[in-house]
Structure 1
Amino acid sequence: MTEDNLFIEDIDWTLIDPEKFEKLIYFLLDSIGMKNIIWRKGGPGVSATDGGRDLECEDHIVGLDGSVRTEKWWIEVKYRTNTLEKTKVHETLINALGFPDVDVIGIVTNNVITNPTRDWIENFKQNKHQRFVIWEGHHLEKIIKSDPSLIYSFFPSSLTLKGRFNIIDTRFYSYLQLPSGTDLVDIWENKDKLDFSSKVILPIILAEATFGDLFKRQWALWFEKDLLLETFLSGLLNIIYLLHKCEALGKDNIFIMEGMEYLLLSNLLNFKANDITEDIDMNILHNWSKNKQEKSENSYDLIQMILKPIISNTCLNLLGVCDQNYLCKKLILDSNTKKEYMKKFILNEINEKRSLLIIQNRKENCKYDLEIPDNNCPLMYIRDNHKITDKNSLLKELEITQKIFMELRDTIFRLS
């Protein structure tokens, strides 16, 4: 095996059972472009008995003149630990004779058929109008390996790290599937050997922020800053699509917000708030506008809708560091472990998520000398009262967040 190979070994069929094998074939048919697929399943672990087929589908064949011819397929799925019995092949073909509207009869097995069975099939095909195909294990493996995402779903151990890495973006943008915990560990340990793009980094960061370990794997301190900015902007540009995808799939979108928050702070480490604001204004708003030369009037309403929740959640987490017993006399919080939030950006620790009770003392001034209406805490003001309406209001939020974040990070670093 060379380093360029995507597969570490042949498929081990013992890793799945008959029910999963049928499920695999169902998704394989979809992957190769079959239409109107029906899984005629009778019950848990038992295939359907209506007419002898497990799956129905259609193959739409486009002619040279653009016309479309439809072939109706019936498929029986036969998971075997040994050679497929000749009697089962007989039963399938004889059953199909009673359904003349079926064009193609298929048998799919993970194993092989005997030579006598193969000869019998050839004789049978010569006298019947229906076409018959059989996919044996070695044929099936070749077809499946054309779709590494399918391999990952059913036989992840058959893929090399490069094979798993190469399908991260496809699995994420198509199905919102994130890299696994094992993937995250392996990718970090081999990060110098991999070629990262913003499309791959985004799902990695979202996975790390949701169930990974950003204290051990500090991507914000390893990736080139321009690549992190590109990833953040790409996330903003695609966030509406991703949120709609979450809704369609019935998934909670919290993992998107947590990952984007980490990317926001990662970029505030490296760039001035004004530079980030300019990039959002030039790259994101122009992409959203109907006229590339003139931003629409509602562009900043969209920024308020998608970026404000990210900034607000960031402020809430930063508030957790600003308690009176630690840094600030203006706030009282119910926990003394909030400082760990900052360790994602300076050293390795274990993160504990906690809810916070926050009491604000308006008689005390913020230590950062920021001019905020009604002597409000800057972070609470951004989170609860301030609205993004234009470029300047966005810049104000990012500048305040950046100033406090950097001060807190430096303070935690000195005290660690």
Structure 2
Amino acid sequence: MSSPPSDPSKDAARWVLPSAIPFEHLKGHDLEECVYWLMDSLGAKDLEWRIGGIGAGTSDGGRDLEAWFFSPSPDGEMEGQRWWIECKGRSGTVEADTVKAACNNALAQDDLAYLVVVTNTGFSNPTRDWVKQWQKSHPHPRVKLWDKSSLERMLAQHPNAVFRLFSQALSTAGHLEVAREGFWNRFDYTSPRTLQTFWDAREDLAIGPLERIALVVSEFAHGRIGDRPWGVACEPQAMFQTLGLATANLPYLFGRALRGGIDQEPVIRGIAYLVLATLRVISAKDVAEMIEVCSADCKRVICGGGDAYAFDNEPIEAYWRRLDPQGRQAGPAKDDRQLWIEKNDAPCNVGFAVGPGNGCPLFASEPSETDLAELLAIVERVSDFRSAEAKAKATAGAAPGQP
């Protein structure tokens, strides 16, 4: 089914629909705002919008935007480069005198590394030739001319900037890239409406492990996973890779949640779901080895206690509670004890050998007393049975003529 993209540049071409960006109207404040968010996506620091608002504004001191870019030097120190950006929205090509004035004005800045003149249209060949000649006698600052084609290319590679201003110009693949970037960089959750859009187009989208984790956690942030079971809508190897990446990134995810004051429950529920989904296609032994290697220092992946396998106020077919390391949320004190009554003379629907003195292994097992692989094998067997049962019910309930 879906797999991580092998060539990001080819996917970038599919993220943005340039024809849907109103370049002819990008003038003044609108062009500056577009370039501001593009520079932000490019990694600019200390980004300053000089005009300070809509309209003519005050004098901008020779630039509309100012930014710093930092890169490591050979000795490991971070060195900064100061950039000036001048935005020139036009109906036709930018006047040569405008570019010349910008270049000459920048000469007074000794620490300026780059001057960028940006337009929504283009520059004439004589203007480009003049800049090349000027650059020979003035090596600093370096001058860049960004025309409409340049903007199209860079915006296509940074759909998050397009999303802020021209969401209609993003393809479904572009929205997926925004969802991935938003989750891993800012812990943003994808909206249910957008999740449904992705689900409807899942056969045509390149959904890799990073995207799949973001989608699964977003589902649990909004409710349940049942409507869009991402964990079973991919190839076995893709599911295995997703769980491996998720468990390896648990410290990062929990750390970001704690620092941002974000509820960790969607992450916990999402990882638990990924474990179950992986058990559908990979042996319990292999899953156990992965968890032990990837999260040996994380006690949240496997937990015991009375609530670990309890059923909440949801029907079993809607949500099977697996792991709940948070315990009960703070609230009125109540009796947390559970009464477990088992009818010894009734057979087990799943097929476990039960009877007097040999109770249900799912509820009787404690992680502290059971080998991890053995415990996961039990969960795997129940998952297999419940999945087949759910599929049978769905098939039986389908309208005549439907699969």
TM over 0.5: yes
The TM-score normalised by the length of structure 1 is 0.61
Query: Quick one: distance in 1 between partners of 2:106 and 2:12?
Result: 44
Distance 1:404 1:44, change over 3 A: same
Q: Does 1:101 align with 2:111?
A: yes
Q: Which residue of 2 aligns with 1:206?
A: 217
Distance between the aligned counterparts of 1:158 and 1:148, measured in 2? 9
**Residue 370 and residue 143 in structure 1: after superposition, are their counterparts in 2 closer, same or farther (change >3 A)?**
farther
Residue 308 of structure 1 pairs with residue 303 of structure 2: yes
Displacement, 1:88?
Answer: 5.8
Matches within 5 A, 1:95-134: 95-112=105-122, 128=138, 130-131=140-141, 132-134=143-145
Change (3 A) 1:213 1:91: farther
For residues 56-99 of structure 1, give each alpha carbon's deviation from its aligned partner in whole angstroms, at most 9, with x where no partner exists: 3357698xx99999784432342636455777656644542432
**Gaps in structure 1 of 5+ consecutive residues:** 289-298, 322-337, 345-354
Aligned counterpart for 1:279 among listed residues 270, 273, 286:
286
Shift of 1:173: 4.3
Structure number having the greater helix percentage: 1
Question: CA separation in 2, counterparts of 1:306 and 1:221?
Answer: 20
The separation in 2 between residues aligned to 1:342 and 1:104, in whole angstroms, is: 56
Superposed counterparts of 1:12-411, under 5 Å: 12-13=22-23, 17-18=30-31, 20-30=33-43, 37-39=46-48, 41=50, 43-45=52-54, 49=59, 51-53=61-63, 54-58=65-69, 72-78=81-87, 80=89, 82-83=91-92, 89=99, 92-112=102-122, 128=138, 130-131=140-141, 132-148=143-159, 150-151=161-162, 155-165=166-176, 172-174=183-185, 176=187, 181=192, 183-194=194-205, 196-211=207-222, 214-224=225-235, 227-247=238-258, 251-267=262-278, 275-276=283-284, 278-287=285-294, 299=296, 302-308=297-303, 315-316=309-310, 318-321=311-314, 338=315, 341-342=318-319, 362=339, 364-365=341-342, 388-389=367-368, 392=371, 395-396=374-375, 399=378, 403=382
Shift of 1:151: 4.5
CA separation in 2, counterparts of 1:361 and 1:225? 37
Q: CA deviation at 1:26?
A: 2.2
- Relative distance call for 1:178 and 1:100 in structure 2 (3 A) is same
* Contact 1:80 1:110 survives alignment (8 Å): yes
2:18 maps to amino acid: E
The code of the aligned residue for 1:26 comes to M
One-letter amino acid matched to 1:315: Y
The separation in 1 between residues aligned to 2:104 and 2:267, in whole angstroms, is 53
How many equivalent residue pairs? 359
Cα offset, 1:342, TM superposition: 3.6
Query: RCO (CA 8 Å, sep 6+): is it higher in 1 or 2?
Result: 2
In the other structure, the counterpart of 1:332 is none
* TM-fit CA distance, 1:306: 3.6
Q: 1:235, CA displacement in angstroms?
A: 1.8
Q: Which amino acid aligns with 1:304?
A: K
Q: Distance in 2 between matches of 1:237 and 1:72?
A: 35
* Distance of 2:110 and 2:60 partners within structure 1: 16
Q: Is the CA contact (8 Å cut-off) linking 1:281 and 1:391 kept in structure 2?
A: no
Shift of 1:282: 1.9
Give the fraction of aligned pairs with identical amino acids, expressed as a percent: 16
RMSD: 5.4
Task: Write the deviation string for residues 38-70 of structure 1: whole angstroms up to 9, x where unpaired.
Answer: 4254645587856333213357698xx999997
Q: Mark the CA change 1:169 to 1:67 in structure 2 (over 3 Å): closer, same or farther.
A: closer
